[in-house]
């Protein structure tokens, strides 16, 4: 049995429309409350259960939170409201607090009209697929009753305000006497980051730190770095930091205006942890999209890089399986498992600042140790999907490219999980080779599967 509502990152959609209409959000609360009381009944001697709810800055967040809380109340479970907080902040407080589960209301880097409901278990990890299927079944049963979705009014609990930022600040020693430009994407970081950095002594110029419910991720944050790339050199800052809407990722800009992505962070953190004797198995977990330059740079430091499919879920699974403590994606999702169970942009920022401070070197200098191979990604819109190994012409082109690269390039061809797209990614020594092989493989895909307009 497969999931119908839950995707790889919870239930996502346009706020106000199925599956993010009021009744479905209420149904999630009913289902989660019912499941929590059943699964944790032996751990609830007084018969009570509590769920933590947090949200980013989207205008739809408060009413979605109220509907989830209303559904929980219908099932006899109370809700505690953290207000605006990051996704990793909800994961941390769910893991360390008295909560049977947490719900984060966010659509991460998507525009404001989208939103999502992500459920986090008491362990701090995403729910297992079988539990999400159970929740969907419980939701369907309540929706079939036709009962009215009654919201429950929520007030932010002030006792939760500083727990997460205090924890983050406690993961570093000393202060950061650095000049920074920080882009909060008009999202959750706008509430949390100023409080954190004020306690650490950094001199910060804040960008996109005035959320109005509709400007989250709007031409700002980790997906739109142009403004930060311009401002960091203008301000003479040591570096810039950009978060996304729920601050589970961070990207960086060096003093010269160059982008320092998640691959570079994995190299800086991996080599630093190895020098400190804190990298079990001399292992870093990345995805198939990480640049070959990262793999070679880590290898030069005696560190093995293991690749997984795209998705922080797969990165985390491999880290747990192999006993790794560091993994992540080019996009800036980086997991420091000794400190957190999820990717955490604020935590990543602290680790990078710590490395820059303690090394006495610039971010430009540190990241310059990675010599990235030219890389290109082409999206091919297709009319149909068939297993790639059944596409003879496509396989022939892939094999020809791999023979020509002879270990000095990579070919990754996969279908999108959400759109009718085939993605072709090529890395090679020269831009000419990258252009040639992306064109040839993309043409083969169009020939075999048809091209959708």
For residues 167 and 147, membership in a common domain is answered with: no
| 155 and 174 share one domain | no
User: Which tokens hold the place of 183?
Assistant: 């882009």
Predicted model pTM: 0.91
- Angle of helix 262-275 relative to helix 345-359, nearest 10 degrees, comes to 60
Whole-number pLDDT of residue 46: 58
For position 19, which CATH number holds? 3.40.120.10
Task: Let me know: does 187 contact 250? Beta carbons within 8 Å.
Answer: no
- pLDDT of 159 reads 79
pLDDT in tens, 13-64: 999 999 999 999 999 999 999 999 887 655 554 557 999 999 999 999 999 9
Quote the pLDDT of residue 41.
Answer: 56
Q: Which two tokens stand for residue 387?
A: 């297993």
197 lies in the same domain as 338: yes
On whether both 192 and 222 belong to a single domain, the answer is yes
Residues 6+ apart with CB under 8 A from 45: none
Pair (205, 143) in one structural domain = no
Backbone angles phi, psi at 250, to 5 degrees: -145, 140
In a shared domain, residues 296 and 323: yes
User: What confidence score (pLDDT) does residue 42 get?
Assistant: 58
Q: What gap in Å lies between CA 340 and CA 168, rounded to an integer?
A: 10
| CB distance 260 to 363 below 8 Å | yes
pLDDT given at position 422:
93
Confidence at residue 450, expressed as pLDDT on a 0 to 100 scale: 82
- pLDDT tens, residue by residue, 192-215: 999 999 989 999 999 999 999 999
Percent of the chain with pLDDT over 90: 87
- Write out the two tokens for 80: 């505690």
Out of 97, 127, 159, pick the residue that ends a domain. 159
Mean pLDDT of 217-243: 98
Can you give the pLDDT at residue 453?
58
How many Å apart are CA 72 and CA 32, to the nearest integer?
7
Per residue in 356-390, pLDDT (tens digit) is 999 999 999 999 999 999 999 999 999 888 999 99
Asked whether residue 225 falls in the same domain as residue 250, the answer is yes
**Cβ pair 57, 190 in contact under 8 A:** yes
How far apart CA 413 and CA 426 sit, in angstroms, is: 9
299-332 pLDDT, tens digit per residue, is 999 999 999 988 888 999 999 999 999 999 999 9
Q: Sign of the CA dihedral 167, 198, 334, 214? A: positive
Q: Containing domain of residue 438, as a range?
A: 375-449
- Tell me if 1 is assigned to some domain: no
Q: Give, as one character, the DSSP assignment of residue 236.
A: T
Residues 106, 176, single domain; the answer is: no
Q: How many CB atoms lie within 10 A of CB 36?
A: 24
Residue 29 belongs to some domain of the structure = yes
Structure tokens at 242: 């950009």
Per DSSP (E only), the strands in 28-186 are: 50-55, 78-84, 101-105, 114-121, 179-183
103, 126, 159 — which closes off a domain?
159
In a domain? residue 3: no
Q: Give the distance from CA 166 to its chain's centroid.
A: 22
Domain count, the chain: 3
Name the one residue in this structure whose structure tokens are 């996704």: 87
**What percentage of residues in the chain have a pLDDT greater than 70?**
97
Give the model's confidence band at 344: pLDDT under 50 very low, under 70 low, under 90 confident, else very high: very high
Query: How crowded is the C-beta side of 10, counted as CA atoms within 13 Å?
Result: 23
108 labelled catalytic: yes
C-alpha 379 chain-centroid distance: 22
Helix (H) or strand (E) holding 426: strand 421-427
In a domain, 55, yes or no: yes
Task: Please check whether residue 73 is in contact with residue 149, taking contact to mean a CB–CB distance below 8 angstroms.
Answer: no
At a CB cut-off of 8 Å and minimum separation 6, what does 216 contact? 56, 57, 58, 111, 112, 185, 186, 187, 245
pLDDT at 40: 61
Instruction: Decide if pLDDT at 71 tops 70.
Output: yes
Whether omega for the bond prior to residue 19 falls within 30 degrees of 0, making it cis, is yes
- pLDDT bin (cut points 50, 70, 90) of residue 128 is confident
What CATH number has the domain bearing residue 438? 3.30.310.50
- Mean pLDDT for the chain overall: 94
Give Cβ neighbours of residue 275 (< 8 Å, ≥ 6 apart). Answer: none
> Cα(322)–Cα(331) distance, rounded to whole angstroms?
22
What pLDDT band is residue 419 in, cutting at 50, 70 and 90? confident
> Residues 338, 383: one domain?
no
Which of residues 105 and 452 earns the better pLDDT score? Answer: 105
Residue range 128-137: mean pLDDT, rounded: 93
- Of 332, 367, 402, which marks where a domain is finished? 367
Task: Looking at the structure, tell me whether residues 209 and 270 fall in a common domain.
Answer: yes
Band (155; pLDDT cuts 50, 70, 90) = very high
5 in a domain, yes or no? no
Structure confidence by residue, pLDDT tens digits, 331-341: 999 999 999 99
Confidence of residue 1 (pLDDT cuts 50, 70, 90): low
User: Is the pLDDT reported for residue 162 higher than 90?
Assistant: no
> In this model, does residue 160 exceed pLDDT 90?
no
User: In this structure, is residue 113 part of a structural domain?
Assistant: yes
Residue 48: its pLDDT value, please? 76
Say yes or no: 262 and 402 in one domain: no
Please indicate, yes or no, if residue 56 is contained in any of the structural domains: yes
DSSP three-state, residue 450: coil
**Does residue 6 fall inside a structural domain?**
no
Marked catalytic residue, from 60, 78, 106, 108: 108
* DSSP E strands, 224-320: 239-243, 250-254, 259-260, 283-287, 304-308
Do 112 and 145 reside in the same domain of the chain? yes
């Amino acid at each position: 049995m497969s999931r119908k509502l839950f995707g790889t990152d919870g239930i996502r959609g346009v706020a106000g429309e199925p599956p993010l209409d009021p009744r479905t959000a209420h149904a999630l609360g009913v289902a989660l409350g019912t499941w929590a009381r059943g699964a944790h009944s032996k751990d609830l001697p007084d018969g009570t259960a509590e769920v933590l709810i947090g949200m980013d800055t989207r205008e739809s967040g408060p009413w979605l939170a109220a509907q989830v809380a209303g559904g929980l109340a219908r099932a006899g479970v109370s809700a505690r409201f953290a207000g605006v907080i990051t996704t990793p902040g909800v994961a941390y407080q769910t893991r360390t607090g008295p909560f049977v589960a947490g719900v984060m209301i966010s659509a991460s880097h998507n525009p404001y009209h989208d939103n999502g409901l992500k459920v986090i278990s008491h362990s701090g990890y995403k729910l297992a697929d079988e539990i999400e299927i159970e929740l969907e079944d419980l939701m369907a049963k309540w929706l079939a009753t036709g009962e009215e979705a009654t919201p429950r009014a929520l007030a932010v609990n002030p006792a939760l305000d500083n727990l997460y930022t205090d924890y983050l600040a406690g993961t570093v020693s000393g202060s950061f006497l650095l000049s920074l430009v920080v882009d909060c994407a008009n999202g959750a970081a706008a509430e949390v980051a100023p409080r954190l950095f004020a306690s650490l002594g950094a001199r910060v110029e804040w960008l996109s730190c005035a959320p109005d419910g509709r400007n989250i991720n709007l031409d700002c944050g980790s997906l739109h770095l142009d403004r930060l790339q311009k401002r960091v050199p203008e301000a003479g800052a040591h570096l810039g930091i950009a978060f996304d809407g729920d601050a589970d990722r961070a990207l960086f800009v060096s003093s010269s205006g160059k982008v320092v992505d998640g691959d570079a962070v994995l190299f800086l953190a991996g080599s630093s942890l190895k020098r400190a004797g804190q990298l079990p198995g001399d292992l870093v977990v990345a995805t198939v999209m990480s640049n070959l330059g990262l793999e070679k740079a880590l290898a030069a430091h005696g560190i093995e890089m293991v690749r997984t499919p795209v998705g922080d879920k797969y990165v985390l699974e491999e880290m747990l399986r192999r006993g790794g403590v560091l993994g992540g994606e080019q996009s800036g999702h980086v997991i420091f498992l000794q400190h957190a169970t999820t990717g955490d942009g604020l935590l990543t920022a602290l680790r990078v600042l710590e490395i820059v401070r303690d090394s006495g070197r610039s971010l430009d200098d540190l990241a310059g140790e990675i010599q990235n191979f030219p890389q290109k990604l082409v999206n091919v819109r297709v009319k149909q999907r068939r297993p790639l190994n059944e596409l003879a012409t496509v396989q022939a082109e892939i094999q020809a490219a791999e023979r020509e690269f002879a270990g000095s390039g990579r070919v990754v061809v996969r279908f999108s999980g959400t759109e009718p797209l085939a993605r072709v990614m090529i890395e090679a020594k020269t831009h000419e080779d990258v252009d040639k092989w992306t064109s040839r493989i993309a043409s083969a895909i169009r020939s075999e599967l048809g091209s959708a307009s």
